[in-house]
Amino acid sequence: MNESLIAEARKLVEDLAAQSARERELFETAYRLGFASGEEVGYRRAHVEMAAEWSQVAARVKALGKEKSPAQVELKRLRREPGGEIYKASLARHGGREYGGAAGAGEQGAA
């Protein structure tokens, strides 16, 4: 065989091997970058989904905190019902005034 033909074939094989190595390296780099980007997008989406789910839980907990039990409603009614025992005890504690706290502006001016 011709030596130049063999050298040319060897050069082509080496070029193909080098091209294959470059393409493999580029593919691996692109794959890693794509994976990292997808992972970042996935984390962001997961955080958004978790925030939405937790806001629903928080809304339910908040509603439960604001909800009055029948016993609380009855106690409040008894405190405000004139003539009841709790109402009378409250009047006695507050010196005959219906609501506790500082005396009204009219009472301060009279003194």
Tens digits of residue pLDDT in 5-50: 999 999 999 999 999 999 999 999 999 999 999 988 889 999 999 9
pTM: 0.39
Q: Are 93 and 100 in contact (CB under 8 A)?
A: yes
User: What are the φ and ψ backbone dihedral angles of 33, each rounded to 5 degrees?
Assistant: -65, -40
Domain ranges of the chain: 3-96
Task: Output the pLDDT for position 52.
Answer: 94
- How far apart CA 107 and CA 97 sit, in angstroms, is 11
Please count the residues of the chain: 111
Distances 10 to 3, 18, 48 between C-alpha atoms, Å = 10, 12, 57
What is d(CA 55, CA 12) in angstroms, rounded to the nearest whole number? 64
Residue 99 in this model has a pLDDT that exceeds 70: no
